[in-house]
Amino acid sequence: MTVASSTHLVLIPSYNPGEKVFDTVANARAQWMPVWVVVDGSTDGTPQRLLRLADADPGLRVIVLPDNRGKGAAVLKGLEAATAAGFSHVLLMDSDGQHPADRIQPFMAASEARPEAMILGMPVFGDDAPMIRVRGRRISNWWANLETLGAGIGDSLYGFRVYPIAPLCEIMHRHRWMRRFDFDPEAVVRLAWHGVAPVNLPAPVRYPSADEGGVSHFNYLRDNVLLTWMHIRLVFGFVLRLPCLVLRRLRRH
């Protein structure tokens, strides 16, 4: 059964996802209302079709950005619109069919039980997951754990998450980073610094093949350079905050 909410919404940033976006949106709508899609300058014909779907469905809103600015920039547009509409939390999911719509309700329930926390997906990989992506994330996770002094971030990269909107918007307005692929790991580290506790929940992730309509805009070289630069600045931030983080840890024990 579809759950309707006036506090929590599903937000789907979308950049040239191809046909998969229509299943993704339909599956998300079957679980939740409202669902918003932020189209990030897509040129694959999906914006027009998504807008037509939204015309026929009051539970679906489609925001079309004319130019491609990156995942984080698209998310921020959605967060600002969500704040204006009175929502307090968003569940973010990819538009390309990788993320499990059937986990939306349990993730939202976890967020309703702990509204001050962020609910983070812990990826459960299948046989279709490329080894390089599975191994590569261990490096990012190791850094994220160090940068937060072991605040308990289960996975730094998986984009299937529920965030409290206010602290995330505040952090994104204060920094000019987190606008592209650096969004997921940097947002989670800065939120942990801000005192937002992580709750980790397992969630399967799929890597559909190109034949099945799978698309990824992950560029191995470009995005790894971006992530390396991100961890360098986060390590600087970590050193500056070290006394604070140590104090907070001591108080927790």
Ligand X SMILES: Nc1nc2c(ncn2[C@@H]2O[C@H](COP(=O)(O)OP(=O)(O)O)[C@@H](O)[C@H]2O)c(=O)[nH]1
Q: Which chain residues interact with Mg ion by CB under 5 A?
A: 94, 96, 98
Residue 40's binding partner among Mg ion, ligand X, none (Cβ under 5 to 8 angstroms by kind) is ligand X
Nearest distance from residue 237's CB to ligand X, in Å?
Answer: 24
Q: Which does 184 bind (CB under 5 to 8 A by kind): ligand X, Mg ion, none?
A: none
Residues 204 and 190: their CA atoms lie apart, in Å, by 25
Nearer to Mg ion, 98 or 111 (CB): 98
DSSP symbol at 18:
T
What are the residues facing 4 on neighbouring strands?
Answer: 33
* Residue 151 dihedral angles phi and psi, to the nearest 5°: -75, -10
- Least Å distance, CB 19 to ligand X, is 13
Residue 173 or 222: the one with the smaller Cβ distance to ligand X is 222
Contacts to ligand X by CB under 6 A: 13-15, 17, 40, 68, 70-71, 74, 94-96, 98, 159, 181, 216-218
Q: 97 touches which of ligand X, Mg ion, none (CB within 5 to 8 A by kind)?
A: none
The residue of the chain with the least Cβ separation from Mg ion equals 94
Q: In the 8-state DSSP scheme, what is residue 101?
A: G
**What residues contact 181, with CB distance under 8 A and at least 6 apart?**
70, 71, 218, 223, 226, 227
Q: Which residues of 41-65 are buried (b: 16+ CB within 10 A; e: fewer)?
A: bbeeebbeebeebbeebebbbbbbb
Cα–Cα distance between 105 and 2 in angstroms, integer?
A: 9
Minimum distance, C-beta of residue 70 to ligand X, in the bound complex (Å): 4
CB of 38 to ligand X, least distance (A): 8
Are the CB atoms for 83 and 168 separated by under 8 Å?
Answer: no
Residue 163 or 193: the one with the smaller Cβ distance to ligand X is 163
Nearest CB to Mg ion, comparing residues 179 and 196: 179
**What is the closest distance, in whole angstroms, from the C-beta atom of residue 199 to ligand X in the complex?**
22
Q: Which is closer to Mg ion, CB of 13 or CB of 34?
A: 13
Rounded to whole angstroms, the Cα distance separating 97 from 110 reads: 22
